[in-house]
Structure 1
Amino acid sequence: MRAALAAVCLLIAGCGAGTSAPEPLSATAVKPVPHEFTEITAPPQSASDCDAEVTLRPGALPSPGAMPSGSAMAAIVANGRVRIGVDQDTYLFGFRNPATGQLEGFDIDIAREIARALFGDPDKIELRSVTAAERMTSLREKEVDLIVHTFSATCERRREIDFSAVYYRATQRILVPKGSTIRSKDDLGGKRVCVVKGATSAARLFSLPVEVTVIGVTNWTDCLAALQQGDVDAISSDDTILLGLKAQDRNLEMVGDSIGSEAYVVGVAKDTPDLVRFVNGVLERIRVDGTWQRIYNERLGVLGPAQAPPAPRYSD
């Protein structure tokens, strides 16, 4: 027995002979980048051969649920709900409340007022989350009936779709970490600036007198993550969008004067003038009866004293 135990001990000792502790693993921390993080190397197509803010004059609003026979509104009512393309990543305008899981914001409330006018019920609505780059396509392919998504009126877009009257005005500015050397658009030379693909923000960056590296992502929260991780030096968008990002990170600040202005409109499919007039009728009502002001105070009060609702410009 003693001989057997000795043999086992020798075997165990032999197995461990000549071995050493494994070398410690070394790995470089990987810094994640946003989905579809790409450089935009050319300005988006632009056109200035129209007055993008002019729209059709509204008629009298029909009673909810009693839309004119054969109209685009009657077809929507027959479907039992209005499908509206909105954002779910822009705090204050269109975002998903983590406490309730519901989409909320200024744009969402405008969309619900349209549903109220159609059905008498603001909940007869299907809110479809679309990215900025998907807004035009979703209208053209009839995936949605309308777009209410911080959607700026431009002549280039007007070639493919129609617009309502302007329901909100914003200005494009710059968002940076506190302590950044970037204090105005003149300091953006050689810097990496984040925008969302499909938004109008990129065009003005290419028109600056300094050369800027423009980085495109899918959503504004992707820009926020990129700025926090140091993948970009600044974000440039409408002040309303930037203030929503700043509210999510108090270490950020807006700097510089306005780079340009934006006019938010409801996007409507081409060749549906009755629907354009109807939406304009809804916007006219909420301007006059105080609903616009109430929505502003509730959703955008953090931006400061309420501005007056934009005055519409009608073609006939």
Structure 2
Amino acid sequence: MRIRAVLAVTALAATTALAACSGDTSPLDTTTSMPQQNAVTAAPPAERAPAPACNPRASLRPGSSALPAPGDMPAGSYMETIQKRGRLVLGTSQDTLLFSSRNPFTGQIEGFDVDMGRQIAEAIFGDPTKIQIKVIGYDKRVSSAADGSVDIVADTMTANCDRWRDVNFSSIYYEAGQKVLVSKNSTAKSIDDLGGKKVCSAAGSTSFENIGKRPTKPVAVAKPAFGDCLVAFQRNEVDGISTDDTILAGMAAQDPYAKVIGKRFTEEPYAIAMSKAHPEFTRFVNAVLERNRADGTWKKTYERWLGDFGAAPPPPTAVYDK
């Protein structure tokens, strides 16, 4: 029965898969982007030592004073620069279903990540529509934030110590992690119930590597992209697909005969990336996120985009170390 929708979903699934965060350990690429004024740059990745240990969840503490009124950003701040420009520039993808994908009916890019950007625009302007969405390549998320070509990147982006050397991250706004997608008639409760079964993931991704590390030894099947995994799943060539739960949620939304099971067995904390040149902007963004956790905005955003997959969990707790 699953074969019924292969042609209908393949194009969308393939592009959705391109935005998966699993396996993306890319540092700043300084060979293809010219840094803009005030940008913070770094040496080419090959010349750098491994990143020192850090707490990638710990961001810059918001200021002690209340958020400034929309339209009245502090003089000399990067928020004032954005206000004078008249729009916030958000870097994201257009093919991560539920997080940042192009609506085929309206042509607008929408989703959980896009709403994160709109909430920051609203805090600056009092108007969430004062936002320019710039579609960026998956491998350009770090460099786009670092060189100032966008103000923020919200794109299912995992905060880690290597990236912290190149960009500032906000506090964590979404907790993702690797899970597994199976047929709705499967009795499996987690990936460890698929011992000896074929589980698909993208070749070269950390998701693929993680499948082989499970103690019950599922058989890891590599495909060029996660869209190819979905096709193989619908043709009954594999028993499941494993990657970040955000990507699996998008696949499940396309296939009514599929479900996502089990607890996360990796941690992928998503955060908003910004240039290191403007630490006051990072503190401002964190203040917006802090307010939205407290007033229910985060919960409403979750329910809007991910409510079909269960009740909203508590929002991630902010961690600050500076």
Aligning the two structures, in what range does the TM-score lie when normalised by the shorter sequence?
0.7 to 0.9
Following the alignment from structure 1 to structure 2, what is the Cα–Cα distance between the partners of residues 102 and 160?
Answer: 30
Following the alignment from structure 1 to structure 2, what is the Cα–Cα distance between the partners of residues 230 and 272?
Answer: 50
Give 1:93 shift.
Answer: 1.6
Q: Does 1:50 align with 2:57?
A: no
Residue identity in the other structure for 1:193 = C
Q: What secondary structure, in the 3-state scheme, does the structure 1 residue paired with 2:177 have?
A: strand
Cα distance change on mapping 1:94 and 1:226 into 2, 3 Å: farther
Give 1:113 shift.
Answer: 0.4
Following the alignment from structure 1 to structure 2, what is the Cα–Cα distance between the partners of residues 101 and 162?
Answer: 31
Following the alignment from structure 1 to structure 2, what is the Cα–Cα distance between the partners of residues 93 and 189?
Answer: 33
Give 1:135 shift.
Answer: 1.3
Following the alignment from structure 2 to structure 1, what is the Cα–Cα distance between the partners of residues 197 and 287?
Answer: 47
Q: Residue in 1 aligned with 2:244?
A: 238
Provide, for residues 92-142 of structure 1, a one-character-per-residue CA deviation record: whole Å limited to 9, x for no partner: 222222222222211111110000011111111011223432211222332
Q: What secondary structure, in the 3-state scheme, does the structure 1 residue paired with 2:266 have?
A: strand
Q: Residue in 2 aligned with 1:77?
A: 83
Residue identity in the other structure for 1:50 = C
Q: Does 1:103 align with 2:106?
A: no
Q: Residue in 1 aligned with 2:150?
A: 144
Following the alignment from structure 1 to structure 2, what is the Cα–Cα distance between the partners of residues 85 and 288?
Answer: 26
Give 1:304 shift.
Answer: 0.9
Q: Residue in 1 aligned with 2:69?
A: 63
Q: TM-score, normalised by structure 2?
A: 0.73
Provide, for residues 63-90 of structure 1, a one-character-per-residue CA deviation record: whole Å limited to 9, x for no partner: 2222222222222222221111123222
Matched residues, percent identical?
A: 42
Residue identity in the other structure for 1:284 = E
Q: Residue in 2 aligned with 1:306?
A: 312
| Aligned match for 2:266, one of 233, 254, 260 | 260
Greater mean alpha carbon deviation, residues 281-290 or residues 42-51: 42-51
Give 1:171 shift.
Answer: 2.6
Cα distance change on mapping 1:253 and 1:293 into 2, 3 Å: closer
Matches of residues 85-124 of structure 1 in structure 2 within 5 Å?
Answer: 85-124=91-130
Matches of residues 1-316 of structure 1 in structure 2 within 5 Å?
Answer: 44=25, 49-59=53-63, 60-177=66-183, 184-185=191-192, 187=194, 191=198, 193-195=200-202, 201=207, 204-205=210-211, 207-208=213-214, 212-217=220-225, 221=227, 224-225=230-231, 227-228=233-234, 234-316=240-322
Q: What secondary structure, in the 3-state scheme, does the structure 2 residue paired with 1:258 have?
A: coil
Cα distance change on mapping 1:223 and 1:89 into 2, 3 Å: farther
Following the alignment from structure 1 to structure 2, what is the Cα–Cα distance between the partners of residues 240 and 65?
Answer: 34
Residue identity in the other structure for 1:247 = A
Following the alignment from structure 2 to structure 1, what is the Cα–Cα distance between the partners of residues 263 and 52?
Answer: 23
Cα distance change on mapping 1:293 and 1:189 into 2, 3 Å: same
Following the alignment from structure 2 to structure 1, what is the Cα–Cα distance between the partners of residues 84 and 208?
Answer: 40
- Return the index of the structure with the highest Cα Rg: 1
* Contact persistence 1:146–1:268 (CA under 8 A): yes
Provide, for residues 144-199 of structure 1, a one-character-per-residue CA deviation record: whole Å limited to 9, x for no partner: 111111111111221221110111112311224557898625747795633498x8
Q: Aligned pair count?
A: 279
Following the alignment from structure 1 to structure 2, what is the Cα–Cα distance between the partners of residues 309 and 34?
Answer: 30
Following the alignment from structure 1 to structure 2, what is the Cα–Cα distance between the partners of residues 47 and 134?
Answer: 19
Unaligned ranges ≥5, structure 1: 1-30
